[in-house]
């Protein structure tokens, strides 16, 4: 196929183009306003008005007898559907943008994006990195006794937090289930992360998926018989206090909730923001896995009239989080207790597997200084990151 050569422009032509672009920019400068991306629908985004333009357009004058034309006034707090200029990077919920509105059509156009303080991204089904949320302060990693907590997935999210420069917060939801002996191990998992210095909180937002607390629906009568109401009540009281603790942790912050499907992310959002009306689903009784309910990333503000007070970015649930875009060195940097030891390995290219000669990580495991589970999780994630995708 023949290559198409780019046309070489003269200096006079370049000056003319620059002058035309400057005139176009001057014509829209007075119409520019600030906004925040509230939701992403592929080619269109929802943007909330956070400042009014310098020049506010006037509605058309309608002569008597003429039909009333469409006109949408620009007001603070309103949400507009917007298109994006083709030369802009892919935007995400939470992005702060400059944009113009067309009251004649009810649509806007995003002209530029402000510098981001953080960006949480994840690979999509086509192995391309997709931004999920921008300017996030906290990533709340939600897990629960049911479906069974996946430590490897939690470790993935902690790596994501490290590279996105976002503070992690581990939220153990459905804490009332911890009274059931079969689920008590989840509390130990929380304690392990606490020992590493991560902030944690227990919650028990009322979840329809806690079906195993009902003996008539229990997968095994033995599990129901083990559970006593006197065992559950103290945990419920602690978890209710935990919801208040969670509110304090995320106050005035922009938070993204992440975790397996079915752990109660949408239910927690409903408890924190009763007017959000997020749909919830029950746990599959066959697979004990959650069902996806959230379909679009959306910013749910704590105060719709003042976005500086923070909010929650509710994102589609995922059971896996690909990390193919990171290097093995990137992965270990997200393991806070293992990264300082890596430089002490006998070989610079140490893979940190159990049979690696002179591996400082496994020596630390033998001495009881680090957890074997975390080293194994590191090896698994590094191997995944080092495997080419096709």
pLDDT of residue 215: 34
18 confidence band (pLDDT: 50, 70, 90): low
Contacts of 244 by beta carbon, 8 Å cutoff, 6+ apart: none
Domain 119-272, CATH among 3.30.470.10, 3.30.565.10, 3.50.50.60, 3.40.50.300: 3.40.50.300
**Alpha carbons 159 and 341: distance in angstroms, whole number:** 17
* CA nearest to 282, candidates 292, 272, 295: 292
The conformation of residue 31, written as its DSSP 8-state character, comes to T
**Which residues, listed in sequence order, are joined to residue 143 by a DSSP beta bridge?**
172
Which of 11-25, 57-71, 220-234, 303-317 is predicted least confidently? 220-234
pLDDT tens digits, residue range 236-267? 555 555 788 899 999 999 999 888 888 888 88
206 confidence band (pLDDT: 50, 70, 90): low
**Alpha carbons 187 and 192: distance in angstroms, whole number:** 9
**Alpha carbons 226 and 180: distance in angstroms, whole number:** 7
CA 346 to chain centre: 38
- Contact between 317 and 294 under an 8 Å Cβ cutoff? The reply is yes
Task: Please report, for residues 110, 145, 186, 214, 307, the alpha-carbon distance to residue 225 in angstroms, rounded to integers and kept in the order given.
Answer: 59, 18, 20, 10, 48
**Which residues, listed in sequence order, are joined to residue 121 by a DSSP beta bridge?**
131
pLDDT of residue 181: 80
Strands (E), 85-124: 96-102, 107-113, 119-123
Q: What is the largest CA-CA distance in the chain?
A: 90
**Which residues, listed in sequence order, are joined to residue 193 by a DSSP beta bridge?**
none
pLDDT of residue 178: 84
pLDDT tens digits, residue range 297-332? 789 999 999 999 999 987 764 445 677 788 889 999
pLDDT of residue 302: 93
More confident residue, 291 or 207: 207
pTM: 0.77
φ, ψ dihedrals at 239, nearest 5°: -70, -35
**Alpha carbons 26 and 13: distance in angstroms, whole number:** 20
Q: Which CATH class is domain 328-386?
A: mainly alpha
* CA nearest to 257, candidates 157, 151, 128, 146: 157
The domain spans of the chain are: 119-272, 328-386
């Amino acid at each position: 196929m023949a290559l198409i050569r780019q046309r070489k422009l003269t200096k006079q032509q370049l000056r003319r183009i620059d002058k035309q672009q400057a005139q176009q920019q001057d014509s829209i400068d007075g119409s520019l306003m600030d906004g925040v991306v509230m939701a992403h629908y592929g080619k269109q985004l929802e943007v909330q008005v956070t400042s009014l333009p310098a020049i506010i357009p006037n509605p058309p004058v309608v002569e008597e007898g003429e039909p009333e034309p469409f006109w949408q006034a620009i007001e603070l707090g309103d949400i507009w559907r917007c298109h994006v200029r083709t030369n802009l990077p892919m935007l995400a919920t939470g992005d702060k943008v400059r944009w113009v509105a067309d009251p004649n059509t009810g649509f806007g156009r995003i002209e530029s994006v402000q510098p981001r303080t953080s960006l949480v991204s994840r690979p999509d089904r086509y192995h391309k990195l997709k931004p999920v949320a921008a300017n996030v302060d906290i990533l709340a990693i939600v897990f629960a006794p049911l479906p069974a907590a996946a430590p490897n997935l939690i470790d993935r999210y902690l790596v994501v937090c490290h590279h996105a420069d976002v503070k992690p917060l581990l939220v153990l939801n459905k804490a009332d289930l911890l009274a059931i002996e079969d689920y008590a191990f989840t509390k130990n998992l929380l304690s392990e992360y606490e020992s590493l210095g991560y902030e944690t909180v227990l919650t028990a937002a009322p979840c329809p998926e806690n079906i195993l607390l009902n003996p008539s629906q229990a997968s095994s009568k033995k599990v129901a018989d083990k559970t006593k109401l006197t065992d559950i009540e103290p945990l419920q009281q602690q978890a209710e206090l935990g919801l208040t603790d969670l509110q304090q942790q995320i106050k005035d912050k922009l938070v993204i909730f992440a975790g397996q499907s079915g752990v109660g992310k949408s239910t927690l959002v409903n408890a924190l923001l009763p007017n959000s009306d997020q749909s919830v689903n029950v746990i599959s009784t066959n697979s004990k896995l959650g069902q996806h309910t959230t379909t679009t990333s959306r910013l749910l503000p704590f105060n719709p009239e003042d976005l500086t007070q923070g909010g929650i970015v509710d994102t589609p649930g995922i059971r896996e989080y690909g990390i193919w875009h990171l290097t093995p060195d990137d992965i270990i940097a997200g393991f806070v207790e293992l990264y300082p030891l890596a430089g002490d390995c006998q070989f610079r290219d140490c893979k940190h597997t159990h049979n690696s000669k002179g591996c400082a990580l496994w020596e630390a495991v033998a001495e009881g200084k680090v957890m074997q589970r975390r080293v194994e999780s590191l090896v698994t994630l590094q191997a995944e990151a080092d495997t080419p995708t096709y």
